[in-house]
Structure 1
Amino acid sequence: MEEAEESPTPTFAELGITGPILETLKKRDIIGIAPTGSGKTAAFVLPILHHLWDNPHGLFACVLAPTLELAFQISSQFDALGSAMGIRTAVIVGGDEDRVTQAVMLARKPHIIVGTPGRLLDHLKVTKGFSLKNLKFLILDEADRLLDSDFGICIDEILKAIPTERTTYLFSATLTDKVAKLQRANLRNPVKVQVSTKYQTVSSLLQYYLLCPLVKKEVTLVSLLNSMAQNSVIIFVRTKDFCQKLAIILRILGFQSVPLHGEMSQSQRLGALNRFKSEGSNILVATDLASRGLDIPSVDIVINYDTPTHSKDYIHRVGRTARAGRSGKAILMTTQYDIEFLQRLEQVLGHKLESYPVDLEELDFLRERVDEAGRVAANQLREEYMSKGGKDGRKRRKVLASADRDGEDDELPMHTFKKKRR
């Protein structure tokens, strides 16, 4: 019996790999700009695994991310796509993760490190025997955030510790061409792969604004959530303290909600995300910690309870829904103080947001219950913070006292909003 002829190994082009990834495979430095949920992670994971297969040796690639949640998510993609290759990954992040345990992981010579800049820099300084001197690939995911001043010093120090002869990828949904930022990454003759124009949301996302007086903001949110009982919702707020308080208010009112913010421990943050992903809770109340890169396919609706600081932050927030071709809905809650931001945002997006209806009669019916839940939540948090004592406790009591006074501004009639809107 004749042996079957061995099929030739197909090229990446023959496998149907898209143009942007083929460009990456040429080992050029890449600036990748694409909408959230469009597969940017795979666009750098696949080429790195391909090159690692051809040139297997110790530490091969380092991926930097702005949050520990995103770092763990990226690592899981490497593990899943590289499982047949036997790759070793190490997640090096801050929070309550033990440095000694991480040092042991680094001593085992992982092929891929995924980490946050601060903790990785710590290990470069103090962990004996660890270096990045043989690194072949450096990837900055959510690069516009990493190249900002908050991470700038750490990034600069890390760049000094890695070879200049390397391949560098920058990926983001809102990466700009600001020379100062891109110079920080020391790119060499980069190619720009832009799937969409800057600050664009996907066409499958329905976007609305909801006008409401500040004094009725919480009760309006509760009314919204009552109408979305079967949906998975992320609510973005501005501060850690209010994130915690709002999650408690919603639980008191019978909603399955969990908070996610920077003062939670690593285990608490990952636990909250896993509970939300597994549908143990269908409402995630979060700060902008959750706005970058997290892939949670089942999110139906994003509510911007507090307006973001910049329009690009809005793009990242609403990018948590309508991912990978799915549909989704985003609602921007707009008070009398947010009209200017709404108008600027519409200019950036290039179109008007539709008005979202609200049942005014239901607001009057819910008002007393929501106010009482707010008082109970404030007392619960006050007792928790007082038990901590010290300066931090005093600071938090002031914050909560301030939060208790929120909404005491005189209510403006709805016709005032309509005039401003025109």
Structure 2
Amino acid sequence: MTAVQQKTIPVLLSGRNALVKSLTGSGKTLAYAIPIIQKLQEITPQLKRSDGIHAVVIAPTRELVIQSYEYFETLCRAFTWLVPGYLIGGEKKKSEKARIRKGLSILISTPGRLLDHIEHTANLSFSNVKWFIIDEADRLLDMGFQQAIVKIAEKLNEHSSDSLQTVLLSATLTKEVENLAGTTLTKPAVIDLAALSEEVAMTCEDFVVPSQLEQHFIITPVKLRLITLSSFIVDKLALGGLKALVFMSTQDVVDFHSDLFSEMLQKLLADSGYSVLFFKLHGNMHQQDRVKVFNEFRECRAGILLCTVSICKCKSHNKGNNIVINFIGEL
């Protein structure tokens, strides 16, 4: 287990509310998914789909919702009577309503989509909900979902017949996150695994990065940015493969570089014996295309994903070199 799992799982199994501060990529999803599955599979007689939703998880982006759903789906293979499901924008609401009507034990959703169903889907019942998870709370607030989260929490507390166990997870504990915790949590256990050293905290208290992360930067004139990025990609491929995220400022910039690299650089690399795929991801793409790109990039051995900053939140399954490139114009 990771550190956050070691600290969080026993607290959640004891039934306490929790406020968890831990870095992105530290294993927070399993830290709350395992206790949920453990508690739900203990219920006797066994739960049925018709018993309705027992756990609600909200996450900031569609991609993170799908990824969290996949974790729950994997864990539930040993407990086939527990059925996870998800709701996200871009999907057909009619299909989602049918999914809810058929029965779900665990529901993962973006807050906007869940609030939409709360207001317009009559057969969405929260009477049996025992768990409420707010994942990536800092990002949810940055994206303007505070009011939606508060409304969802009020609905859950209003309709749940049991005491609701609430867990809020965040990479940072800003004043906004603390205010949200005060609104949604009652006497929570505070689990802080992202504490900085005292010296760093005094100078850079708002920025927390994993200790194993190495950061480098190159300052280059604007007219040399493209050749610098291209050379960096070629150089890393020559050293033994590359899995990279390249963050860009706008959707148009992503589209331009995706077309350019796919049509020219990918072919030049193939002629030199290097196999690499280029992908793009941004909010103006259809949901089916986003999911397809998301999954293809995770599974490929060598790939470069060009994306806008706000859209991308994924974990690579690749065990090779994983690199994040922030492609900015000026410093």
Compared CA separation, residues 203 and 137, structure 1 to 2 (3 A): same
Cα deviations by residue, 1:321-371 (Å, 9 ceiling, x for unpaired): xxxxxxxxxxxxxx6x41xxxxxxxxxxxxxxxxxxxxxxxxxxxxxxxxx
Supply the distance in 1 between the matched residues of 2:65 and 2:58 (Cα, whole angstroms): 7
Does 2:322 match 1:300? yes
Shift of 1:174: 2.5
Supply the distance in 2 between the matched residues of 1:149 and 1:34 (Cα, whole angstroms): 19
Structure 1 unaligned residues grouped into runs of 5+: 1-16, 307-334, 339-422
Does 2:264 match 1:269? no
Shift of 1:234: 0.8
Instruction: Give the match's secondary structure for 1:82.
Output: helix
Mapping of 1:77-116 within 5 angstroms?
77-86=71-80, 87-95=82-90, 97-116=91-110
Compared CA separation, residues 175 and 265, structure 1 to 2 (3 A): farther
What is the root-mean-square deviation in Å for CA atoms of aligned residues?
1.9
The alignment-based identity, stated in percent, is: 30
Supply the distance in 1 between the matched residues of 2:327 and 2:34 (Cα, whole angstroms): 37
Deviates more, 1:220-229 or 1:40-49: 220-229
Whichever of the two has the greater Rg, that structure is 1
User: 1:221 matched to which residue of 2?
Assistant: 229
Shift of 1:182: 2.4
Instruction: Give the match's secondary structure for 1:150.
Output: coil
User: 1:398 matched to which residue of 2?
Assistant: none
Does 2:31 match 1:49? no
Instruction: Give the match's secondary structure for 1:90.
Output: strand
Cα deviations by residue, 1:172-202 (Å, 9 ceiling, x for unpaired): 2224354433234x21001111122263322
Compared CA separation, residues 76 and 167, structure 1 to 2 (3 A): same
TM-score normalised by structure 2 residue count: 0.82
Cα deviations by residue, 1:142-178 (Å, 9 ceiling, x for unpaired): 1112234611222222122112631111112224354
Structure 2 unaligned residues grouped into runs of 5+: 197-206, 267-276
User: 1:118 matched to which residue of 2?
Assistant: 112
Alignment check: 8 A CA contact 1:233 1:284 kept = yes
Shift of 1:253: 2.2
Instruction: Give the match's secondary structure for 2:35.
Output: helix
TM-score normalised by structure 1 residue count: 0.65
Alignment check: 8 A CA contact 2:86 2:108 kept = yes
User: 2:182 matched to which residue of 1?
Assistant: 183
User: 2:204 matched to which residue of 1?
Assistant: none
Alignment check: 8 A CA contact 2:7 2:191 kept = no
Supply the distance in 2 between the matched residues of 1:265 and 1:177 (Cα, whole angstroms): 35
Supply the distance in 2 between the matched residues of 1:99 and 1:127 (Cα, whole angstroms): 9
Supply the distance in 2 between the matched residues of 1:122 and 1:302 (Cα, whole angstroms): 34
Supply the distance in 2 between the matched residues of 1:243 and 1:183 (Cα, whole angstroms): 39
Aligned residues between the structures? 290
Cα deviations by residue, 1:8-34 (Å, 9 ceiling, x for unpaired): xxxxxxxxx723211121111111112
Mapping of 1:243-262 within 5 angstroms?
243-255=254-266, 256-262=277-283
Mapping of 1:357-396 within 5 angstroms?
none
Query: Which of 245, 248, 251 in structure 2 is aligned with 1:237?
Result: 248
User: 1:4 matched to which residue of 2?
Assistant: none
What stretches of structure 1 move > 3 A for 4+ residues in a row? 289-292
Compared CA separation, residues 102 and 201, structure 1 to 2 (3 A): same
Does 2:10 match 1:22? yes
Cα deviations by residue, 1:198-231 (Å, 9 ceiling, x for unpaired): 6332232221011111222122111111112221
User: 2:168 matched to which residue of 1?
Assistant: 170
Instruction: Give the match's secondary structure for 2:305.
Output: strand
Cα deviations by residue, 1:27-67 (Å, 9 ceiling, x for unpaired): 11111112222211110001111111223443100000111
